[in-house]
Amino acid sequence: MKFGVVVFPGSNCDHDCYHVLKDALGQDTAYIWHKDRSLDGCDCIVLPGGFSYGDYLRTGAIARFSPIMNEVEGFAKKGGIVIGICNGFQVLLESGLLPGAMRHNDSVKFVCKFVNLKTENIDTPFTNRCNKGQVLRIPIAHGEGNYYVDDNTLKALNKENRIIFRYCDKNGEVTPDANPNGSLENIAGIVNKPGNVLGMMPHPERCSEPVLGFVDGKLIFESIIGWLRKR
């Protein structure tokens, strides 16, 4: 089993993802440069957070045309496991692998803090180690995480259980007060229709070791490892 962490110019959570997968979880992990044209036999691709191409034009809009993204799209369409975190989520939206788009946070501020996430669907490669409705404590750090999608797609996302995480309070209640950025229906993470591509704004790689205070992020990486092992 091998993990690949894509490195775009301006990625800044690539090392964190690599460290968690390689050192904290003991997985074979490689960096993949954005100009590469091979995924090097990886079973799971991580699109990390950061500011790819300086967030110029729109977040993720230019990274989405990196040579490696052709490979990632082909891999995803064949059922390969892809997780996009923060800027990685924005790249997935721009590439059309996930529906919707990000607006500026409703506060127009960069928000960097721990939030609570309600796990809405545990029948996925990314959440199978969680309990239904489990509240995960994971940090966010973004200026453009205000998720938007048209009404029909939003209905489909709900109907098909594709909204995986919603911002909630500490008791798991999904309330307007718990929404840090204005996202429609408190959406923090979604999957594509077949369920093999996840985009999430919070950063699980920043809370996967006891030394960092919280370890809930590890559940997501362990879910992927467990799922790949079973396959």
Partner 1 sequence: MFNVKVEVTLKKQVLDPQGLTVKHALESLGFNEVDEVRMGKFLELKIEAKDRKEAEEKLRRMCEKLLVNPVIEDYTYQIEG
**Residues 59-98, mask of contacts with partner 1 (x by CB under 8 A):** --xx--x---------------------------xx----
Q: How far is CA 53 from CA 8, 46, 173, in A?
A: 8, 17, 37
Q: Give Cβ neighbours of residue 51 (< 8 Å, ≥ 6 apart).
A: 10, 12, 59, 87
Out of 81, 149, 197, 207, point to the residue binding partner 1 (CB under 8 A): 149
Residues 29 and 15: beta-carbon distance below 8 Å? no
For tokens 């509240």, the residue is 135
Residues 165 and 189: beta-carbon distance below 8 Å? yes
Our answer to whether residue 86 is catalytic in this structure is: yes
Residues 8 and 33: beta-carbon distance below 8 Å? no
Q: Which is nearer to partner 1, 149 or 224 (CB)?
A: 149
Establish if 211 lies at the interface with partner 1 (CB under 8 A): no
- Which stretch, 27-35, 131-139, 143-151, 155-163, contacts partner 1 (CB under 8 A)? 143-151
Least gap, CB of 178 to partner 1 (angstroms):
18
Our answer to whether residue 173 is catalytic in this structure is: no
Our answer to whether residue 34 is catalytic in this structure is: no
Establish if 116 lies at the interface with partner 1 (CB under 8 A): no
Q: How far is CA 106 from CA 6, 84, 141, 143, 163, in A?
A: 29, 22, 14, 9, 20
Tokens standing for residue 117: 């996430």
Q: Which is nearer to partner 1, 108 or 211 (CB)?
A: 108
Establish if 58 lies at the interface with partner 1 (CB under 8 A): yes
Q: Which is nearer to partner 1, 104 or 129 (CB)?
A: 104
Binding site for partner 1 (CB under 8 A): 57-58, 61-62, 65, 93-94, 99-101, 103-108, 146, 148-150, 182
* Residues involved in catalysis: 86, 203, 205
